[in-house]
Amino acid sequence: MTQTNTKPRTATVLKPARPPLHKVILINDDFTPRDFVVSLLKAEFRVPEAQALAIMLTAHTRGACVVAVFTREIAEAKANRATEIARSKGYPLLFTTEPEE
């Protein structure tokens, strides 16, 4: 006798994994003017004045501050671009990136 297959047919639909995020980190130094850091944060990271000031002050007092998170390529491109703009003005300002835990 032919058996009827009564097993329910299931399909596993996998959602694409979200790409891991990377932090852009502002590093303090003793030379870059505070106003320049704030202007750069506003122009390159589109943060409002009050937030730019808070980020700059946190980096100034604690040594570093997270600016924003992006996918790795965007984070690296933005960190490099902001660092290069500062260097082109003769400042040693540094933005780094690191993966978010």
- Give contact residues for ligand TYC (rule: CB under 6 A): 26-30, 32-34, 37, 56, 59-60, 93
What span, in angstroms and rounded, lies between the C-alpha atoms of 63 and 6? 65
- In the bound complex, what is the minimum distance in angstroms from residue 15's beta carbon to ligand TYC? 38
Coil vs helix vs strand at 78:
helix
Burial class (CB in 10 A: 0-12, 13-18, 19+), 35: exposed
- In the bound complex, what is the minimum distance in angstroms from residue 90's beta carbon to ligand TYC? 14
Instruction: Enter the tokens of residue 95.
Output: 């933005």
- In the bound complex, what is the minimum distance in angstroms from residue 87's beta carbon to ligand TYC? 13
For residues 12 and 26, which CB has a smaller minimum distance to ligand TYC in the complex? 26
